[in-house]
Amino acid sequence: MRAFVLSAYGGPEHTALTDVLQPLPRAGEVLVRVHAAGLNPVDFKTRAGALKIIRNYPLPIVMGNELSGVVEAVGAGVTRFAKGDRVFARVDKDNMGAFAEFAVVHEAHAARMPASLDFTTAAAVPLAALTALQALRDELHVSAGQRVFIPGGAGGVGTFAIQLAKHLGAHVATTASPRGEALVRRLGADVVIDYTRERFEDKLSGYDCAFDLLGGDTLARVWSVLKPGGRVVSIAGMPEPVTARKDLGRGTLLAALFWVISLSTRMRAARHGCSYRYLFMHPSGADLAYLASLIDAKQLEVVVDRIFPFVEAKEAMAYLEAGHAKGKVVVRLQSS
């Protein structure tokens, strides 16, 4: 089968479409004929080796973290799916493998596709939407009447986060360029800060929590818009000790390292009377099924910026890495 393979950590020259052996489903797994696969920043960060301290993959390896397709075969003990089912999934973090004509997925990580979506649109959902849901619902505990700041709302995770925060009853502020303002307003943002000419801390104050999608200078400045006791969950800052234990299932050594590298961020949070958490989302078929129900009920829109053919997977990665996508980038496989 054809697959997009990483042969060495580094630049895009270390990735290529090549022929590899088709995987076989083990107990508890389903084999999916992949119709489309979504791209995410974790893909180019993995390629560059930026995440090796967390997950150092044996190379070569088939890349890709989310997919949609049709169940081709099931492994022993699988009860939730049968051949012919249309599914979407965030694949196992330890294996990746979504950028291929066939991929194996644990049945607990998959769900039936929203009936209202085609394969290409469905492939844009799993990783970004799960990240937004788990951050807002499970970590920030967003509820009706709260005020939530989501900087970078026009990106892949942001487009889901704005809508899910509104679904949970929150007032939502975000940042966007003039090109992205109409999009984030359509998705439900109550306040939009034009980051090209305004500083959000001059416009916002007294917010209950923030979901940081950008890190860097944005994370350094976000504390001043929160009220005492405010909470920040980030997917772009520095991991902290809870990340190692709760999200990665790792021990004291990695927790200690994360304690050191996140110290300045946690101290800044403490000075403002706030808390800080870095989140690595986890695959969940149950959460995907919930998201599918929202999509089919027209309560959650999937925003796809651009679709590439599978033969242009490297170009798709470069486009995403350039940082201008509004919504998700997807590759459509030739088998579709």
Q: Could you report the per-residue pLDDT of 100-146, keeping only the tens digit for each?
A: 999 999 999 999 999 999 999 999 999 999 999 999 999 999 999 99
What is the rounded distance in angstroms from the CA atom of residue 291 to the CA atom of residue 126?
9
Residue 116, SS3 per DSSP: coil
Residue 134, SS3 per DSSP: helix
Q: Is 241 in contact with 255 (CB distance < 8 Å)?
A: yes
In this prediction, residue 53 carries a pLDDT of 86
Tell me the mean pLDDT in the region 289-317.
Answer: 97
What is the rounded distance in angstroms from the CA atom of residue 253 to the CA atom of residue 244?
9
Phi, psi (rounded to 5 degrees) for 189: -60, 130
Residue 112, SS3 per DSSP: strand
In this prediction, residue 166 carries a pLDDT of 98
In this prediction, residue 182 carries a pLDDT of 96
Phi, psi (rounded to 5 degrees) for 190: -85, -35
Residue 334, pLDDT above cutoff 90: no
Closest CA to 83 of 34, 129, 32, 47: 32
Closest CA to 162 of 178, 142, 179: 142
How far is residue 150 CA from its own chain's centroid?
Answer: 14
Residue 154, pLDDT above cutoff 80: yes
The Cβ of residue 214 has, within 10 Å, a number of other Cβ atoms equal to 18
Residue 85, pLDDT above cutoff 80: yes
Domains of the chain: 2-125+302-332 (3.90.180.10), 128-278 (3.40.50.720)
Tell me the mean pLDDT in the region 247-254.
Answer: 91
- Per-residue pLDDT band for 174 (boundaries 50, 70, 90) equals very high
In this prediction, residue 289 carries a pLDDT of 98
